[in-house]
Chains A and B, each alone.
Chain A
């Protein structure tokens, strides 16, 4: 049964690859976030097809997609929606006009350009899957994911995400440059006469919700679970390189993400390999290096690599 799901995911990725060349890791990790019913933060330079990849995936999964371009003047009501006065049969009344957050996949582009006030407007939606406007709380349509992007350069005029908010993203996905071979394919694809790609809708909301349930059913061995706890605990005690370690949310996230990866790989159990692969996107935004480590030029990925030495 689980092996059949592997075929499903392979088909989905193959369909997305009609539009997106390469970026297999990005697509896999976004799918993991979706299976975990969680949010992901994408970090990469401009022009790496982040937005296109998410939009294509949303199309293939038959999900409602919306995009918020974050700017410093973005207001929370621009995200959540607002009440507008409408005239109906001569009567004027307030009607709630839902914002772009009322979708299944919300792409918050360049989230670090929005003010903290607007950033926090997404918090409730991300965590509670609901939006409160005025005195009314609106439930969001499930499945719901926020995929936010941020640019590692051009830090002027940006508002870095507060720790509390970045912790709410299950994964921080690093979007890397394509390989030269992939870049040739990209160039060919977009410089030759355009061929309209009709994407098949391979999954639907109900199937996606079912897959989320299956993800949580993937069993994990006690010693693998203990290793996850040891790794996360070590991030709090390894004071020689790490100033602030990861919270228990990281332990939950690492196990859940590993379960999703096991499902995508068609495995009916979580293996150490899943833990090692998912430790980077789960932990890299949850640990803060100390001055000494930064002085040595270490990155959070180097710190995670150190933590993974724990067996």
Chain B
């Protein structure tokens, strides 16, 4: 049958379009989920592109290896195995194949493009996308975070880096790893304070108390400004007087007079 290859091409294009729509929608959904999760844990949300791209490439690979004719056949049972057979044999020209091709073309007219779109599934996905977009918006506005994983990640990175460079590296950072001994000993444990296999030799010089006569000068005069923090303010003595009762004032006065006499 002439033009059957065009029919097959059209079938492929339509199925590809439908599959591409579904793949893109699913990828957007995956991106939004990952974006939201990363944002909530205070990680760079653009890292969501990596799982999305991985998923997208996986789906594209699966899609490329899927027999499109099987998908069409599954939507219209009278086409079962017929479409595949006609597609595989369209180069053979004989009356039986021609008859089959005509039959397939007739059956294909009964297949609606809308039958490939699962309305319920697509609706759920679109709804999911909308909900996730709103969630991302609210999380941004109200600064919702479940933990600062960015810092934790830095720590993890630091630890990995240190462990990764351990043994034979001459950087001074290694000393940090060995100095976690506590406050009582600033050099840490002897076993830790090592560079590679060599023990660090540390000598502490005694503090010198000798004074060089030539280098003795007058102490420089310094002017100190009375600058106080804002929280500290002065109050008048009068205010104190107001607060101390006269009886108490007299009592204190008498006390000091008695004291001066003795």
Contacts and interface: CB of A to CB of B under 8 A. Distances in A.
Contacts of B88: 219-222
Given A219-B86, A219-B88, A268 B81 contact: no
Interface in B120-155: none
Contacts of B103: 268
A224 to B, nearest CB: 7
Contacts of A272: 81
B97 interface: yes
Please tell me the size bucket of the interface on B: 10 to 19
B96 A221 contact: no
A27 interface: no
Given A1-B99, A2-B99, A223-B67, A269 B94 contact: no
Contacts of A221: 81, 84-85, 87-89
A219 B81 contact: no
B92 interface: yes
A271 interface: yes
B82 interface: yes
A42 interface: no
Contacts of A2: 96, 99
A179 interface: no
Contacts of A219: 85-86, 88-89, 92, 96-97, 100
B28 to A, nearest CB: 33
A214 B98 CA distance: 13
B114 interface: no
A269 B96 CA distance: 8
B95 interface: yes
A68 interface: no
Contact of B95 (A1, A220, A271): A1
Majority DSSP secondary structure for residues of A touching B: loop
A272 B88 CA distance: 15
A270 interface: yes
B67 A268 contact: no
Nearest to A263: B96
B86 A217 contact: no
A47 B89 CA distance: 45
B97 A217 contact: yes
A1 B99 CA distance: 8
Contacts, number: 51
A32 to B, nearest CB: 17
B208 to A, nearest CB: 92
A272 B84 CA distance: 12
Interface in A218-244: 218-224
B100 A269 contact: yes
A8 to B, nearest CB: 15
Interface size classification for chain A: 10 to 19
B85 A220 contact: yes
A223 B82 CA distance: 12
A300 B136 CA distance: 64
A232 to B, nearest CB: 19
Given A1-B95, A217-B94, A224 B81 contact: yes
Given A222-B88, A268-B103, A269-B86, A217 B81 contact: no
A220 B100 CA distance: 11
A219 B95 CA distance: 11
Contacts of A269: 81-82, 85-86, 100
A265 B97 CA distance: 16
Max count, chain A CB within 10 A of own CB: residue among B80, B81, B96, B97: B96
Interface string B105-130: 00000000000000000000000000
A217 B80 CA distance: 19
B95 A217 contact: yes
Nearest to A273: B81
Nearest to B100: A268
Interface in B29-88: 67, 80-82, 84-88
A214 B96 contact: yes
Interface string A61-81: 000000000000000000000
Nearest to A224: B81
Contacts of A224: 81, 84-85
Q: Tell which of B80, B85, B87, B94 has the most Cβ of chain A within 10 Å.
A: B85
Nearest to B96: A217
Contact of B96 (A222, A268, A271): A268
Contacts of B80: 271
Most buried by A among B80, B81, B99: B81
A222 B88 CA distance: 6
A271 B81 contact: yes
A186 to B, nearest CB: 38
Contacts of B97: 217, 219, 268
7 contacts: A217-B94, A218-B96, A219-B92, A222-B84, A224-B85, A270-B85, A271-B80
Interface of A: 1-2, 214, 217-224, 268-272
Given A219-B96, A224-B85, 15 more contacts: A1-B99, A2-B96, A214-B95, A219-B88, A219-B89, A219-B97, A219-B100, A221-B87, A221-B88, A221-B89, A223-B84, A224-B81, A269-B82, A270-B85, A272-B81
